[in-house]
Amino acid sequence: MKATILVVEDDMHLMEGIRDILEINDYNVLTATHGKAGLEVLAQQPVPPDLIVSDIMMPYMNGYEFFEAVRAQSAWITIPFIFLTAKGERDDIHRGKRMGAEDYVVKPFSADDLLVAVSAKLDRKRQLDAAAQNEIAEIKRNILNILNHEMRTPLTYVVAYADMLNRDAPDLGLNEMRSFLRGINAGANRLRRLVESFILLVELETGEAEKAFAIRSHPMQDFSVVLHNVRTKYTDIAAESGVRLELNAPDELPPVIADHEYLSAAVECLVDNAIKFTEQPGRTVTVRIAPSSEGGVEIAVCDEGRGIPQHELDHIFESFYQIDRQKYEDQGAGSGLAIVKAVVGLHRGTIDVSSTPGQGSTFTIKLPPAPEV
């Protein structure tokens, strides 16, 4: 398939020469005589061109203004640019590079000069497009795997218990009915947590979470909301597993810049993992929030569970990574710790883990102090 190139040049003779060179070499060519006309041409295309070759000094809208206008549109932001500049105009090149433009062809140029620059830029675009497609394909495979396995398992519980209730309700005692309802509730809650995790992971990976954080974050000293959310969601879950849940925090802490929704989600992910990986009844999962030695806040989630093998520690924060999937069937979608790391990154914090197999793990989030006003 032929690549399409938009040429924006106010010198008609030069524009026609560039168009002829490109068309002879099997490129589709669109033309415009200045930046505003270039924007109009772009708006008329059902598919954006593969490359833009633009002069800098033009009437109505110069090359820099045109470049900024193109980059301001999400549909065009990935179109590569080649600027045409007069020999010796170093200021043009420096200014363009500060704006993010990287490729220049200096006038006067030969056909070979232009074709080499165009070919290199298009090759790089194809490589980036292929890499992006591979990444999308990998995400699709992971999502399909989770839809096939992770969501099917709790859904099976819900359907099975509901079927038994529907079929045997007249013959069931009150305790049996309550047991079935608890099974339905457990399956539904697991599905809810999986869906919430995926929504948050998508927000984090697409940049939407960063935008929301910029709007919603504020100086925060009272962490009672975070503890309340953990207590509400996980007290019963911990009790059903025979695990004690302890939550400790002083009434007031040093101020940190935080978004309580995202921070709660990160702590909940850690608590969820801690409960699942604490297999023996009677053991404790502790959430401890305290001032840090650096003047900010430290959040530690400790368990007395199975621990994490040393060779797994370097990978546990990767999206969809799961520790020994066949052995540890209950660990979920493998997105929880990736979410935690991304949320901590939004807060300009750090997360560390220490773990001893057979004894348990401690995940420690450190949030920096809020800037002084």
pLDDT of amino acid 327: 42
When pLDDT is cut at 50, 70 and 90, the band that residue 161 belongs to is confident
H or E stretch including 290?
strand 284-291
Residues 201 and 238 in one domain: no
When pLDDT is cut at 50, 70 and 90, the band that residue 255 belongs to is very high
Q: How many CB atoms lie within 10 A of CB 2?
A: 10
Q: What is the CATH number of the domain that holds 311?
A: 3.30.565.10
Q: Is pLDDT at 278 greater than 60 in this prediction?
A: yes
**pLDDT > 90 fraction of the chain, expressed in percent and rounded:** 34
In a domain, 372, yes or no: no
When pLDDT is cut at 50, 70 and 90, the band that residue 98 belongs to is low
Q: Is pLDDT at 110 greater than 70 in this prediction?
A: yes
In a domain, 141, yes or no: no
Residues 363 and 216 in one domain: yes
Residues 212 and 298 in one domain: yes
**Gap between the Cα atoms of 57 and 297, Å rounded:** 53
Q: What is the domain extent for residue 331?
A: 207-367
Q: E-assigned strands of 45-192?
A: 51-55, 81-86, 104-107
Residues 186 and 62 in one domain: no
Per-residue pLDDT tens digits for 322-372? 554 444 444 444 567 888 998 999 999 999 999 988 889 999 999 999 987
In a domain, 173, yes or no: yes
Residues 57 and 165 in one domain: no
pLDDT of amino acid 331: 45
**Gap between the Cα atoms of 28 and 185, Å rounded:** 59
Q: What is the CATH number of the domain that holds 130?
A: 3.40.50.2300
In a domain, 77, yes or no: yes
Q: Is pLDDT at 303 greater than 70 in this prediction?
A: yes
Residues 40 and 124 in one domain: yes
Where a domain ends, among 164, 181, 206?
206
Can you give the pTM of this predicted structure?
Answer: 0.60
pLDDT of amino acid 126: 84
Residues 171 and 67 in one domain: no
**Closest CA relative to residue 283, chosen from 253, 242, 311, 321:** 242
Per-residue pLDDT tens digits for 13-28? 999 999 999 999 999 9
Q: What is the CATH number of the domain that holds 180?
A: 1.10.287.130
CB-count burial class (<10 Å; 0-12, 13-18, 19+) for 148: exposed
Per-residue pLDDT tens digits for 36-74? 999 999 999 999 999 999 998 888 998 889 998 998 888
Query: Is the pLDDT higher at 129 or at 256?
Result: 256
pLDDT of amino acid 156: 81
Q: Please count the structural domains in the chain.
A: 3
In a domain, 71, yes or no: yes
Q: Region 290-317: what's the mean pLDDT? A: 88
Query: Is the pLDDT higher at 269 or at 143?
Result: 269
In a domain, 313, yes or no: yes
Residues 201 and 218 in one domain: no
Per-residue pLDDT tens digits for 192-209? 877 887 788 778 877 888
pLDDT of amino acid 91: 62
Buried-state track 131-145, b at ≥16 Cβ within 10 A, e below 16: eeeeeeeeeeeeeee
Residues 267 and 250 in one domain: yes
Query: Is the pLDDT higher at 153 or at 179?
Result: 179
pLDDT of amino acid 271: 93
Residues 36 and 8 in one domain: yes
In a domain, 142, yes or no: no
Residues 184 and 224 in one domain: no
Q: What is the mean pLDDT of the chain?
A: 83
**Gap between the Cα atoms of 280 and 301, Å rounded:** 18
Q: How many CB atoms lie within 10 A of CB 231?
A: 15
pLDDT of amino acid 267: 94
Residues 86 and 185 in one domain: no
